[in-house]
Structure 1
Amino acid sequence: MAHSSWLATCGSPWSALGTLAALATSLLVLSYVSSSLVHRAAYGYGDPYSPDAESPSAAAAAAVAPRKGPGYPPVFAYYITGGHGDFVRVTRLLKAAYHPRNRYLLHLDAGAGAYERARLASYVRSERAFLGYGNVHVIGRGDALDGRGPSAVAAALRGAAILLRVGADWDWLVALGAADYPLVTQDDLLHAFSSVPRDLNFIDHRADSESHHVVVVDQNLLQSTNAELSFSSGRREKPDAFELFRGSPSPILSRAFVEHCVAAPDNLPRTLLMYFSNTMDAAEFYFQTVMANSPRFRNSTVNHSVRFDVPPPQGMDLRSRYDALVGSGAAFAGRFGDDEALLQRIDEEVLRRPLDGVTPGAWCAAGSGEEGSAAECSVGGDIDAVRQGAAGRRLASLISGLVGTGACDGCKS
């Protein structure tokens, strides 16, 4: 199938809107990339909550920059997203996954109000550790998006471009939503990934078995407020030019692969961005398909996202659900609903996170250990030191079994 026919397989009104949405998506992401490369604001909102705003923590951040190289732990970049009413869940997730080595970008989508974003930015600036290390940023204006549509991919690429702009010293990108939560401390995660080659991508993927796909129009690509997807009665056949792959929308991606998707040194990422601009569940396809069709990256994949879905409460008590999560050996779990008791148990028994505090680690000036936790983690500890706990040993065992298991499953050689 010729590339020019992708958007012409549905009725003419939908085709016109689909083409416009595709062009808008590409221009949107490319504008973020261009601004990042010329060291200007990663997005032109000019508000005081942007990562590019002057901050008193800049000097402190430079003074405690993590050491890189052999013998030192990696650095993770976290893109944490939420919507209206997610302030508590986003800040709780941030504190649970916090470590001064890492970088964090928080995004409340267009469904959240300006007050919610201002409150989030104010909270970040009020926390001593966040302010002292200067590694937490808040996007000042939320993207309009629908998690089922291509606007979710555009938002993720935008977040990646901003993280590359504010500091390209990180090794892997981790995207988390407000319904996600860590199952290990950051000490455990950093320790487990210390021996992993930095070019590996932990990306769950499988060849797409569908012969046709639903065509959608995602108006969030064209406006500033959240909108529902519009569905076309038309169907689109699979292309001949490349193979489609799908998987978890929350992979752990290497910096090299993220730069490839954002900067698009060849035409593949841009071409696929156009293709998926009117595809349902685009976030389950985009990164997997770019990876599988790229000669450079198809052999640097691990077919696992190191995540575990929360078991449903039906037929399982709290202890059984907790045991399933912890026993998985995964780094993160997703799809937490109204699970306060389960989250509290993870905080107390796995993370040892004090009430309203960050997860302690070897970096805490007050010190911490597997058998106890610091009452407060403050600026002044060794951010290059990590200590492995029981959950970290389970994660390390999982990763050692995954790494070296082969290249992209089903990709062309």
Structure 2
Amino acid sequence: MLASLLFSLLYIPTQLSRPINIFNPSKSFIIPKSSKPYPVTFAYLISASRGDTAKLKRTLRALYHPGNSYLIHMDYDAPESEQKEMANFVSSEPVFSKVGNVWIVGKPNLVTYRGPTMLATTLHAMSMLLRIAKWDWFINLSASDYPLVTQDDLIYAFSALPKDLNFIQHSSHLGWKQNKRGKPIIIDPGLHSLNKSEIWWVIKQRTLPTAFKLYTGSAWTILSRSFAEYCIVGWDNLPRTLLLYYTNFVSSPEGYFQTVICNSDDYKNTTLNHDLHYITWDTPPKQHPRSLGLKDYRRMVLSNRPFARKFKQNDHALNKIDRELLKRRHGQFSYGAWCSKSGKRHNNCSDLQSEKYGVLTPGTGSRRLRTLLTKLVSSQNFNKKQCK
């Protein structure tokens, strides 16, 4: 089982034309010669499950930008009708067709909560995006996430950063996770079954490893292209060794990237100990974070973070975020220079202005985010929050 998982990840690039649906544009997007490329770009994996189509459409519109790349993964458990609905949505959107930067995984994976199939899906997406697009950072989100800044804001704020930085929340202080995560052995039926079920628990436990040090943290990360390449086609065996170890690990997405990067001499000093998400938990914490609402709005904005989770479908807080932070109207995209017509201050952001490709119009969100990033990369904080 372990060998088959590793084999499938290693050989994903040779099968790219089949597992991914690429919607051929009816009209090619030609970047004007006068346009400059964007200073940095992002590759997004947006994951969704059964019943998430409405949330997924809204999140994709809020996140969309012609300079970025977007890969959508809908759980294999989602009915065929939902898979087709999303395929029709992507293929029928004129902007997506013109630019050609939104894809859907054509052969989706069965994802088991707390199992390694979620990690396998992330690595699968990274390998696809590395092959089909040029980008600087990889961001994994779910349909329940939502941006708190426009993509113009995000691109502008990140343009001042070294491109080798990795935003990975990490800690070697396992606490209760030592016995609840590090020692149990589990089997994810999603690796070998087409029917979704809970993970299986093995009665016997294992000791903590001595060949490497375990780290834990948030499953939501922003990874540099260099580190993504290391994880997929790394020049030493650490990423593959740890992939085999984490195949039988509870909630492996909360430890794999943390343990890989903090045990790598090449990358351990590139970490910023932050996931750039606004998330709140109950006391004591439950399995899932608390759903956000209007009462959380002020704290979300003051956190200066670019993303928040999780939201219920069409929560009123999303409308407020659209209206006040993203300048996004219903059914349209978030505000950006790429879709702004000259002389129209409050136009609908619904169409691509090709002459504006490469142009940014950052707003207050970029200033909030730059405040946070400046604090994180300051020498006082950066060196203290490296892998310990």
RMSD: 2.5
Q: Which one of the candidate residues 127, 150, 171 is aligned to 1:161? A: 127
Q: Distance in 1 between matches of 2:98 and 2:16?
A: 23
Alignment of 1:335-374 (within 5 A): 335-337=310-312, 340-366=315-341, 373-374=346-347
Partner of 1:121: 87
Instruction: Name 1:8's counterpart in structure 2.
Output: none
2:194 aligned with 1:224? yes
Q: Deviations over 1:167-198 (max 9, x none)?
A: 1x100001000111001010110110011111
Q: SS in structure 2 opposite 1:107?
A: strand
**CA deviation profile, 1:326-365 (whole Å, cap 9, x unmatched):** 1110010012235611111111111111111111211114
SS at match of 1:235: coil
User: What is the rounded CA distance, in whole Å, between the counterparts of 1:317 and 1:179 in structure 2?
Assistant: 10
The question of 1:268 aligning with 2:233 is answered no
Q: What letter matches 2:157 in structure 1? A: A
For the pair 1:26 / 2:6, whether they are aligned, the reply is yes
In structure 2, distance between residues paired with 1:255 and 1:65: 27
> What SS does the aligned partner of 2:382 have?
coil
Cα distance in 2, alignment partners of residues 304 and 317 from structure 1: 20
Q: Which amino acid aligns with 1:196?
A: L
Partner of 2:150: 185
Matched residue SS, 1:246: coil
1:125 Cα deviation after fit: 1.2
Q: 1:64 to 1:31 in 2, by over 3 A?
A: farther
CA contact (8 A) 1:143 1:155 kept: yes
Q: SS of the counterpart of 1:122?
A: helix
Q: In the alignment, which residue of structure 1 is the partner of 2:348? A: 375
Q: Aligned pair in 2 of structure 1 residues 378, 217: CA closer, same or farther (>3 Å)?
A: same
The offset of 1:50, in angstroms, is 1.3
Matched, 1:323 2:289: no
The structure 1 residue matched to 2:265, chosen from 281, 285, 295, is: 295
Partners of 2:10 and 2:33 in 1: CA distance:
32
Alpha-carbon distance change, 118 to 144 in structure 1, aligned in 2, over 3 angstroms: same
**Counterpart in 2 of 1:7?**
none
Query: How far apart, CA to CA, are the structure 2 residues paired with 1:120 and 1:319?
Result: 28
Q: Partner of 1:105 in structure 2?
A: 71
**What does the per-residue CA deviation read over 1:58-111, in whole Å, with 9 as the maximum and x for residues that have no partner?**
84277799855xxx4201000001011111111110000010000000110111
Distance 1:66 1:143 in 2: 39
Task: State the TM-score, normalizing by the size of structure 1.
Answer: 0.84
Preserved CA contact (<8 Å) 1:57 1:134 = no
Match for 1:94: what amino acid? Answer: L
Matched position secondary structure for 2:365: helix
Distance in 1 between residues matched to 2:10 and 2:325, nearest whole Å: 41
Which sections of structure 2, spanning at least 5 residues, go unmatched? 283-289
Structure 1 window deviating more from structure 2 (379-388 vs 344-353): it is 379-388
Equivalent AA in structure 2 for residue 110 of structure 1 = Y
Check if 1:56 corresponds to 2:56. no
Is residue 411 of structure 1 aligned with residue 382 of structure 2?
no
Give, in whole Å, the separation in 1 of the partners of 2:281 and 2:362: 26
AA partner of residue 56 (structure 1):
P
Q: Which moved more, 1:359-368 or 1:124-133?
A: 359-368
Structure 1 residues 57 and 268: alpha-carbon distance in aligned structure 2, compared to 1, 3 A threshold: farther
Within the alignment, does 1:176 sit opposite 2:141 as a pair?
yes
Matched residue type, 1:30: L
Q: Quote the Cα distance in structure 2 between the aligned partners of 1:298 and 1:193.
A: 20
Query: Percent sequence identity over matched residues?
Result: 35
Which TM-score applies when normalising by structure 2?
A: 0.89
Contact between 1:172 and 1:252, CA under 8 Å: does it hold in 2? Answer: yes
User: Could you give the per-residue CA deviations for residues 91-141 of structure 1, whole angstroms, max 9, x where no partner exists?
Assistant: 110000010000000110111122211211111111111111111001112
2:124 is paired with a residue whose SS is helix
Q: Which amino acid aligns with 1:263?
A: V
**Amino acid in structure 2 at the alignment position of 1:344:** N
Whether the 8 Å CA contact 1:76–1:103 is kept in 2: the answer is yes
Alignment partner of 1:42 is 2:9: no
Partner of 1:401: 375
Change (3 A) 1:338 1:368: farther
1:149 aligns with 2:120: no
SS at match of 1:245: coil
Q: For the structure 1 residues 164 and 66, does the alpha-carbon distance in structure 2 shift closer, same or farther, using more than 3 Å as the test?
A: farther
Distance 1:411 1:322, change over 3 A: closer
Contact 2:144 2:312 survives alignment (8 Å): yes
State the match for 2:285 in structure 1: none
Q: CA deviation at 1:408?
A: 7.9
How much does 1:366 deviate?
Answer: 2.0
- Following TM superposition, by how much is the alpha carbon of 1:223 offset from its aligned partner in structure 2, in angstroms? 2.8
Give the number of aligned pairs.
373
User: C-alpha distance in 1, partners of 2:197/2:65?
Assistant: 35
CA distance in 1, matches of 2:196, 2:229: 28
Q: Which string of whole-angstrom CA distances, capped at 9 and with x for unpartnered residues, describes residues 253-293 of structure 1?
A: 00010011011221000000000001001000000000000
Decide whether aligned partners of structure 1 residues 365 and 292 sit closer, same or farther in structure 2, where only a CA change above 3 A counts.
Answer: same
CA distance in 1, matches of 2:194, 2:34: 36
**Residues 215-273 of structure 1: CA deviation (Å, up to 9, x unaligned):** 11001112334332111222221100001111110110000100110112210000000
- C-alpha separation between the residues in 2 aligned to 1:367 and 1:298? 46
